[in-house]
Amino acid sequence: MLIAVGTLVSGVLGNLVSSMLSELAASVLGPASIALVVSGAVGFVVFEMRRRRVGREVSPEPTEVVAAPATGAPTLPYPAGFTGRDEHVEAVLGLLTREHAVAVLGRRAVGTSACAVQAANLCRDDFPDGQYYLDLRRGGRPRSARQVLTALAGVLGTAPPVSARPDALAAAADALRGQLDGRKILLVLDNVDRPEQVRPLLPPTARTCRLLLAGGPALNGLNGVVAHWIAEPGPAEAIELFAAAGGAAPAARIRRADPRTDPAVGEIVELCGRQPRTVRALGYRTAQHGWRHTDVLDALRRAVRTPPHQRVNVSPAARLVTERDIAYRALTRPARRLYRLMSLAPAPVDRPAIAALAGRHPERVTALLDELAAAAFVVGAPGDRYEIRPLLAANARLHLRDADPARARVAAQARLTRHLARRAERHAANLAVLGAPPDREWSLPLDDDPYGWFDLQQELLLAVVRVPAGAAETLPRRVRRWWFRLAVALCGWLAHVERLDEWEQVCRTVLATPTADDRPEIAGWAHNELGVLRRRRHDPQGAAAALTLAVAERGRRGTAQARMNLGLALLDLGQLDDAVEHLELSRRHRSGADRAGQALTDLGLGAAQLARGELATAHHHLVRAANTFRSVGDGRGYAAALTNLVLVHAGLGEHLDAAQAWRAALREYESVSDPTSQAAALLNAGATLLTATPGQARAAYELLAEGRRLRAESRPSAGLARTLLYLGDAAAALGDRAEARRHWADAATVAEEVGDADGQAAADGRLEGAIDPPAAVT
């Protein structure tokens, strides 16, 4: 009765308290508390639904190469679906017959566990006293050394360690050795992540017991352990894994293509990085759902090859590849992010570039690179550079596509391109200062050595410029600006070192991008570069065609440079009036602040007026060009202006001024690396000296011989033909007619090859007895 009364009283009091609290919540806390309670209830329901769904999801796919033993079972399990690796298994068996401790090493998820367990099963009869297996990473968490010794002690009946202190671990290990000594037992320790987990058991001292470890590269060099390394399965083995997994799946169609003979499967397993777990899972899922191999291949290709700034839906096949990559999941989150971002660099990159790509401090990047290198995700390259292993490059791009949104990919791409563009521009500006590679100081640090930096980074720079090639969408604005500046700096270097093929490749790559279609100024720049390139290849007709397009596309902002180059190309074609017109327009469009551009235009006008025979006007333009070049510190332009002034003074009969001009030009070329222009200066000097003062034939011969030596490394040109022609004249003046005729014959051959009709006629005339010298060339 008392209990009933107490219950009634407590119920009444509880109702009163709850009513008071409800009124207080409604009056004081208001709707906010109600919303909070509702949101909490909704969150709990969502959490419970997801928990139950995860509990119901059981994947039947045989992605585990080794069947896991029952919990706590110490005995060696039998392998399930082991395929390939015969040579590695045989090697491990051979080592177990000779060595007391063997470690099967490789990067995570590469198949070390399967190989070790298979080898252990094949030699069961050699160990009649027992074969014991222990997984040191059960449930995904690595066991400590104390936990390992405790588990082994429970199996073998010895005392476990009383603590994790070194002396306690050593005592437990000694007890195990005493129990194992003299018994033929095989002990397999799988998934060994760190040497500390097994160090108390090493070195092995039991006479007939064998210890077989399976783990990662960190176990290399353990005392008393012989390592056997395995890598990813070969292409044929990977295809067999794919086919075997598909054969175990309930097929949606009875008749299906044999993966062993389908060429698409070979590329599929390569795009998966030949990772055993991933290959088996994809093979199973493909057969289970009846996917065509070509469709799977197209989906993976699309995810890998689509430029990073474009969006593309991730297919179930691509997502499966990323989900089953347990080696990737074992990395720390910052290391996973760096691995993904490094897939944006299609060539080896140095540490500063990687730091810029990731937006992290270089010291932090160094630690992450160490982690990735230890897990065999990246490899080193010459010059303190790193790259993703080629086999894993597609895998990294799949992870990037799956984990990073387009905004993050574009931001990383912009950081890398900006870093490379700024460094390329700085080094390109220093090229003329240091001179040619043979004349420069080779002991410069790499950061101050433009030639060394460009040589080292050429592959990366070219690859970054090619990134938007074939894209369906133009580059985002934040990337486009730096991408174009990088292309300009790269072409400046390629032009400076006369790598004409690579130079043309960059220009055509730029023209092939959607960005060039959307931005006429970019297309105009590329056509302007192609025009200059064709002039260097002695193709004035092609140069004029490309430069005409450049003038039409660039608009007012870039017209001056394109018109100047077009004028020079027309000058090469002999269209003097059109050449002067374009050069005058170029000079008119030049900014007053662009003194170097004004000097270049004056140089071109002087050469054109010289070709027209207007020597006084040519002298005016060339003197102004020389003075401007000298004031802005452009030694190459100054020397070129002096070279042309030699011809003007010679034409005016001012032989003393001509001699002073060519001597000044040759002095300038001693500090400027431009063999072609230096050879032209030597030609003009030798021709002028020989014509004005025949008594200086020996000095003229030496100048012309040096010019021929400088031209020996380049392709035949009109300049080479004229040099040989005047060499013959100098040899004739020295009385050696046989050598003179040999030089004239060579000059006729070269002139005919390059289409120099005037030079060929002059050489033929000398061979027939004519002695009138031809005009020199600018």
pLDDT digits (tens, 9 = 90+) for 453-476: 999 999 999 999 988 876 778 889
Cα(738)–Cα(349) distance, rounded to whole angstroms?
58
Q: What residues are paired with 387 via a beta bridge?
A: 379
**Pick from 331, 351, 223, 274: which is nearest to 84 by CA?**
274
Q: Decide if pLDDT at 280 tops 80.
A: yes
Q: What's phi and psi for 387, nearest 5 deg?
A: -150, 155
Q: Decide if pLDDT at 9 tops 70.
A: no
SS3 category, 134: strand
> Given pLDDT bands bounded at 50, 70 and 90, which one contains residue 24?
very low
DSSP 450-514: HHHHHHHHHHHHHHHHHTTTT-SSPPPHHHHHHHHHHHHHHHHHHHHTT-HHHHHHHHHHHHTSH
Per-residue pLDDT tens over the stretch 146-205: 999 999 998 888 999 999 999 999 999 999 998 888 889 999 999 999 999 999 998 887
Residue 564's identity, in one-letter code, is: M
User: Please, where are the H alpha helices in 331-404?
Assistant: 333-342, 351-358, 362-374, 393-403
| Residue appearing with tokens 């004035």 | 540
Q: What residues are paired with 190 via a beta bridge?
A: 135
| Residue appearing with tokens 């010019």 | 707
> Given pLDDT bands bounded at 50, 70 and 90, which one contains residue 711?
confident
> Given pLDDT bands bounded at 50, 70 and 90, which one contains residue 65?
very low
> What does the DSSP 8-state code read for residue 716?
P
Cα(236)–Cα(246) distance, rounded to whole angstroms?
15
**Pick from 219, 629, 590, 460: which is nearest to 621 by CA?**
629
Predicted confidence at residue 66, as pLDDT, reads 38
Cα(686)–Cα(676) distance, rounded to whole angstroms?
15
Q: What's phi and psi for 135, nearest 5 deg?
A: -90, 115
Predicted confidence at residue 218, as pLDDT, reads 87
> What does the DSSP 8-state code read for residue 76?
P
For 7, residues 6+ apart whose C-beta sits below 8 A from its C-beta are none
**In Å, what is the CA distance from 462 to each residue of 13, 451, 507, 529?**
82, 16, 11, 16
Per-residue pLDDT tens over the stretch 75-95: 788 777 677 788 999 999 999
Tokens of 274: 């030949």
| Residue appearing with tokens 């004029």 | 544
Mean of all residue pLDDT scores within the chain: 84
By percentage, how much of the chain surpasses pLDDT 70?
Answer: 86
For 78, residues 6+ apart whose C-beta sits below 8 A from its C-beta are 67, 121
Least confident of 39-48, 76-85, 287-296, 544-553: 39-48
Tokens of 723: 């040099």
Predicted confidence at residue 405, as pLDDT, reads 94
Cα(370)–Cα(364) distance, rounded to whole angstroms?
10
Residue 13's identity, in one-letter code, is: L
Per-residue pLDDT tens over the stretch 566-620: 999 999 898 999 999 999 999 888 888 889 889 999 999 999 999 899 999 999 9
Tokens of 125: 């009869």
| Count of beta carbons in the 10 Å neighbourhood of residue 222 | 21
Q: What is the mean pLDDT of residues 476-490?
A: 94
Judge contact between 732 and 744, C-beta under 8 A.
no
Predicted confidence at residue 437, as pLDDT, reads 56
Per-residue burial over 234-268, b if 16 or more Cβ lie within 10 Å, else e, is eeebbbbbbbbbbebbeeeeeebeebeebeebbbb
Q: Are strands 210-215 and 349-350 parallel, antiparallel or unpaired?
A: unpaired
Judge contact between 376 and 273, C-beta under 8 A.
no
> Given pLDDT bands bounded at 50, 70 and 90, which one contains residue 707?
confident
**Pick from 84, 107, 398: which is nearest to 272 by CA?**
398
What is the radius of gyration, based on Cα positions, of the chain? Answer: 39
> Given pLDDT bands bounded at 50, 70 and 90, which one contains residue 99?
very high
Question: 719 or 408: which carries more pLDDT confidence?
Answer: 408
Q: Decide if pLDDT at 436 tops 90.
A: no
Predicted confidence at residue 678, as pLDDT, reads 84
Cα(57)–Cα(565) distance, rounded to whole angstroms?
69
Tokens of 777: 């060339």
Tokens of 475: 């580059």
**Helix 697-711 and helix 718-733: axis angle, to 10°?**
150
Predicted confidence at residue 467, as pLDDT, reads 85
Q: Decide if pLDDT at 446 tops 70.
A: no
Per-residue pLDDT tens over the stretch 608-666: 999 899 999 999 999 999 999 999 888 888 988 998 898 898 888 888 888 888 888 88
Predicted confidence at residue 73, as pLDDT, reads 45
Cα(147)–Cα(198) distance, rounded to whole angstroms?
10
For 532, residues 6+ apart whose C-beta sits below 8 A from its C-beta are 495, 543, 565
State the distance between the two ends of the chain, measured CA to CA, in whole angstroms: 126
Judge contact between 336 and 399, C-beta under 8 A.
yes
Judge contact between 489 and 423, C-beta under 8 A.
no
Tokens of 513: 């991008």
Tokens of 593: 């602040």
> Given pLDDT bands bounded at 50, 70 and 90, which one contains residue 63?
very low
Q: What is the mean pLDDT of residues 366-373?
A: 95
The angle subtended at Cα 50 by Cα 44 and Cα 55, nearest 5°, is: 125
Tell me how far apart the 2 most distant CA atoms of the chain are, in Å.
Answer: 148
Q: What is the mean pLDDT of residues 243-256?
A: 75
Judge contact between 356 and 416, C-beta under 8 A.
yes
Cα(72)–Cα(75) distance, rounded to whole angstroms?
9
Predicted confidence at residue 275, as pLDDT, reads 93
**Pick from 340, 416, 410: which is nearest to 372 by CA?**
340
> Given pLDDT bands bounded at 50, 70 and 90, which one contains residue 135?
very high
Question: 445 or 744: which carries more pLDDT confidence?
Answer: 744
Judge contact between 701 and 731, C-beta under 8 A.
yes
Per-residue pLDDT tens over the stretch 724-773: 999 898 998 888 888 999 999 999 999 888 888 888 888 888 888 744 44
For 294, residues 6+ apart whose C-beta sits below 8 A from its C-beta are 264
Q: What residues are paired with 132 via a beta bridge?
A: 75, 187
The angle subtended at Cα 494 by Cα 491 and Cα 496, nearest 5°, is: 105
Q: Are strands 226-229 and 101-105 parallel, antiparallel or unpaired?
A: parallel
Cα(669)–Cα(661) distance, rounded to whole angstroms?
12
Judge contact between 718 and 572, C-beta under 8 A.
no
Cα(637)–Cα(600) distance, rounded to whole angstroms?
8
> Given pLDDT bands bounded at 50, 70 and 90, which one contains residue 714?
confident
| Residue appearing with tokens 């289970």 | 288
Predicted confidence at residue 665, as pLDDT, reads 86
Cα(240)–Cα(238) distance, rounded to whole angstroms?
5
Question: Residue 349: which H helix or E strand, with range?
Answer: strand 349-350
Predicted confidence at residue 465, as pLDDT, reads 92
For 735, residues 6+ apart whose C-beta sits below 8 A from its C-beta are none
Name the strands in the sheet holding 349-350, side by side, starting at the edge strand that comes first in the sequence: 349-350, 385-388, 378-381
Q: Decide if pLDDT at 528 tops 70.
A: yes
| Residue appearing with tokens 């080629």 | 390
Cα(339)–Cα(369) distance, rounded to whole angstroms?
9
Q: What is the mean pLDDT of residues 48-55?
A: 49
Q: Decide if pLDDT at 694 tops 90.
A: no
